[in-house]
Amino acid sequence: MLSLINLYLLVIAVIVGLVYIRLQQAQFLGNALRVHEDQYPELFSIFKHHAQLLGIHRASLYIKQDPYPNAYTIGVTSCSVVLTSALAEQFSSRETSLTIGHELGHYKAGHTKISSVLIPLGTGNTFSNLIFGFWQRKTEYSADRCGLILTKDIDAAITSLLKLTVGSKFFEKISLPGYLTQMKSAGGASFKFSEMLVDHPLTTNRIRSLLLFWRENFKKA
């Protein structure tokens, strides 16, 4: 009986998730600006190029008004990538290209199919992060690598993460040696456990992972 109840709840979660995602994609057409050949063609060219390289045939790109730089992807049978206006304004074309590659990587790897099921169960809070956070953080590392593979631009990968951390204005005055010192001191048990409370890896860990991946796969080429 307990197994049947769990299966029933899972089916309900899947159905609710699919309906929610479809409605959310429909909202983008009404509340965001769709990027295409005649609407920001340079941005669309980057998006189309990355989608073709990944073999994604049903994908849309939107820009949505938001004062915070961010990007996200949803979709099960089709892909919708959303860039906030703050990110589109503050990121260079190279950083935007890296970000788009990252977001398309989520869809290509099937992350959005699973996250669609998790949405009805609740996301973005401490409780859900403790349960699903390990998987969600792993997906971010994978998407980071996808963006780097598509662009082969380690500089844009790092600067985009730093801009998300401090904003574009403070980034202009950032001391990279000082940040490297901060990265070296960001360790220990408390540092590792603190990451369990969030659904994204800590920025210092993402940069370390990207640098390691770059050295192992691109630096010698």
- What mean pLDDT do residues 46-69 have? 96
Q: What is the pLDDT of residue 127?
A: 56
* pLDDT range class, residue 115, cuts 50, 70, 90: confident
Q: Are 165 and 173 in contact (CB under 8 A)?
A: no
Angle at 203 between CA 20 and CA 69, to 5 degrees: 50
pTM: 0.87
* pLDDT range class, residue 116, cuts 50, 70, 90: confident
Q: What is the pLDDT of residue 180?
A: 87
Decide which of 99 and 199 is more confident. Answer: 99
- What mean pLDDT do residues 137-165 have? 96
134, pLDDT greater than 90:
no
**How many angstroms separate the CA atoms of 45 and 36, rounded?**
8
| Sequence-separated contacts (24+) of 151-156 with Cβ below 8 Å | 151/94, 151/97, 151/98, 151/101, 152/218, 153/94, 153/97, 153/98, 154/210, 154/211, 154/214, 154/218, 155/94, 156/92, 156/94, 156/95, 156/97, 156/98
In the chain, the largest separation of any two C-alpha atoms, in whole Å, equals 61
* pLDDT range class, residue 202, cuts 50, 70, 90: very high
